[in-house]
Structure 1
Amino acid sequence: MSDAYKEAGVDINAGYQVLKTVKEMSGNAQLGAFGGLFPLPLTDMGQNPVLVAGTDGVGTKLLVAIAAQQHTSIGIDLVAMCVNDVLAQGARPLFFLDYLGLGHTEEQRVADILEGVVAGCHEAGVALIGGETAEMPDMYGQDHYDLAGFAVGLANQPDLLHPEKVYPGDILIGLSSNGLHANGFSLVRNILFKQNDYQLTQEISDLGHSLQEELLRPTTIYVNQVLPLLQQKLVAGIAHITGGGLIENVARVLPNGLQAQFTLGSWPVPAIMTFLEKAGNLTPTDMRETFNLGLGMVLVVHADKVPEVLASLKANGQPAYEVGSVAINDPDTIDSPTVSFKEADHD
């Protein structure tokens, strides 16, 4: 390789080794071409097949992984953030590409990151057809990196989910999360490490383990649990609960004039959420606008389909809860869709 390029901070040979490693992990010998190839399975897509694309990153959860020097689960987060969004549109995710930008190509660290990407793709049933690893020593610090992902799915256009398919009386089905997933980490880090001076390795009695273990739990991938529901046309809407929490994301799947009414206490809230609420002196609105509160996805289901949906989710090992319903908005409010929270009725 060019000695001048290496002296400038870019090790091309290390990049070649990374490509070799990810080829071996993914089993895709075509990786490394100028573009990724994927044959479209159009035969089961009706008369109007449509591609659905999504892109996302992992946010400042990366800083926790870097500080902990644990990089194997962060790639799962990346895949989950992208494929769950595609799934929420009513599409079956097909393939995935990743982008890794870093200050220095340390081969084992890169292999660990990409191991997580490959694992996430296997779990989601998508093909890893390409990606990019860019070493940029003056853009990133020696130990820092950034991750972005890109997923594409396929659906029959009439089967795509959109707000007009949601009606008053529909039921909200919450799918349990694996903790914080990959959202709200700027607030999380501020509360834990700036306001309260906790350490990553510190054991927290409320959690039963260290902060490091809790914060690096990977985002749940919901493809295997939800795809059967889409194929049977049992779902009217899906909200993937990411940045913006329950309030912003659930409102996105409702038409004007309707509201989603969550029933407090109808699902378990993870201990990390209540711990952060106390440690950061957060209000209920802060929590609902930032975190998933234990629900990584919320399905909107017509009332007569609820038993079938819950049975399917149980059969696929997915904890799920009836967490509320859809109602007509108060006519005195603005016409935009809203999200509200109420206490459970006690007879």
Structure 2
Amino acid sequence: MTTNEKNSLTYRDAGVDIDAGDALVDRIKPLAAKTMRDGVMAGIGGFGALFEVPKKYQEPVLVSGTDGVGTKLRLAFEWNRHDTVGIDLVAMSVNDILVQGAEPLFFLDYFACGKLSVDTAAAVVGGIAKGCELSGCALIGGETAEMPGMYPEGEYDLAGFAVGAVEKSKIINGKSINVGDKIIGLASSGAHSNGFSLIRKIIERAGAKPDDDFHGQKLVDVVMAPTKLYVKSVLAALDKHGAAIKGLAHITGGGLLDNVPRILESGLTAQIKQSAWTFPPLFQWLQEQGNVAQEEMYRVFNCGIGMVIVVPADQEEAIKTTLAEQGETVYSLGEIVAQQDGQAQTVVI
């Protein structure tokens, strides 16, 4: 079959640049190489990535999670800040599987755009690789989809997928949590990747700009600070204290009020003391500029607490010490009490 060269179309004419995609893969490979760990059998470049479950597990249970970055991406586009949202992407998934006691093993990403900018995509994937490196998780695969007409130029979407493993006998499910257990909180690094539809509304109302001074930092640096990765510190605490860590809750969408109940049996309430910590300046500013009610703050944002841990009262101080030695800022938030009729499973008093 012959073609008329004058009227012949190419994929590039349709808006897809295969050469740009190949150039991005070349940029990604050395970034992914830094994340390799025991178990990786085949990574970037194949049709599928191969990973062997580490032999240290006697009865391994695989734990998987997937997430995105939400409308924080809108600020990444508007403020041209692409190097941190990749860390967000990793953190949102690996922190989720961590709460069941799982060690993250590998991660895959999905990057979709209308027109591929190699520099922008490389910045995003560089953040993904950094997040994987910080959490001991191998970046072994992913997909870059250039889809003309689906996304405006300069915009993209992200999804991430993490798989971890936990010994069957060491799965954390909250079932051993009892009245009298203590609640520990680990500080967040900012708003993480939740509540950004409201954050963007507040920024618009306040007329704030990315380069505005905010307590000695640029507002863009505070708002776009990447989600904190709790993997290495919490795994160290699990290794040392084992079953004493009865429950873990990642404070994501739904804030403190909706996430802590996910690990509680019926009849229990997490009673958190408002005086146990002070809202970081970002959350104080958001509440003031948006005139946001206190309960709404607790339900939308992490308010400075990114991870909640439930432990026996007699081991609270030892576990706090271990976490502090791992670099965490640790708070004694409150305790588990018997749920009263009509009472929510998380209350802030």
Question: Deviations along 1:266-299, whole A, 9 cap, x unmatched?
Answer: 1232101010101111101110000001001000
TM-superposed deviation, 1:3? 5.5
Work out the CA distance in 2 between the residues paired with 1:13 and 1:153.
34
TM-superposed deviation, 1:314? 1.5
Write the mapping of 1:149-164 to structure 2, written as runs, cut at 5 A. Answer: 149-164=160-175
User: Are positions 1:222 and 2:221 aligned together?
Assistant: no
State the SS of the aligned residue for 2:141.
strand
Question: What corresponds to 2:60 in structure 1?
Answer: 49
Question: What corresponds to 1:98 in structure 2?
Answer: 109
Work out the CA distance in 2 between the residues paired with 1:252 and 1:243.
12
8 A Cα contact 2:32 2:140, kept in partner: no
Question: What corresponds to 2:348 in structure 1?
Answer: 341
Question: What corresponds to 1:345 in structure 2?
Answer: none
Work out the CA distance in 1 between the residues paired with 2:163 and 2:303.
28
Write the mapping of 1:1-347 to structure 2, written as runs, cut at 5 A. Answer: 4-27=10-33, 30-41=43-54, 43-46=55-58, 48-193=59-204, 195-204=205-214, 207-231=215-239, 232-233=241-242, 234-330=244-340, 332-333=341-342, 338-342=345-349
Gaps of 5+ in 2: 1-7, 37-41
Work out the CA distance in 2 between the residues paired with 1:183 and 1:66.
17
Work out the CA distance in 2 between the residues paired with 1:137 and 1:324.
52
Question: Deviations along 1:126-173, whole A, 9 cap, x unmatched?
Answer: 001100010112111101101110000101122111131211111110
Question: Deviations along 1:102-128, whole A, 9 cap, x unmatched?
Answer: 111111111111110010000000001
AA aligned opposite 2:85:
I
Gaps of 5+ in 1: 343-347
State the SS of the aligned residue for 2:276.
coil
Question: Deviations along 1:314-346, whole A, 9 cap, x unmatched?
Answer: 11111101111100011x226xx611111xxxx
Work out the CA distance in 2 between the residues paired with 1:252 and 1:192.
31
State the SS of the aligned residue for 1:121.
helix
Question: Deviations along 1:190-222, whole A, 9 cap, x unmatched?
Answer: 1111x2322222223xx3322211111000000
AA aligned opposite 1:4:
T
C-alpha spacing 1:20/1:3, structure 2 compared with 1 (3 Å):
farther
Moved more, 24-33 or 14-23: 24-33
**Matched pairs, number:** 333
Superposed CA RMSD in Å reads 1.4
Work out the CA distance in 1 between the residues paired with 2:189 and 2:223.
10
Work out the CA distance in 1 between the residues paired with 2:249 and 2:136.
21
Work out the CA distance in 2 between the residues paired with 1:226 and 1:30.
27
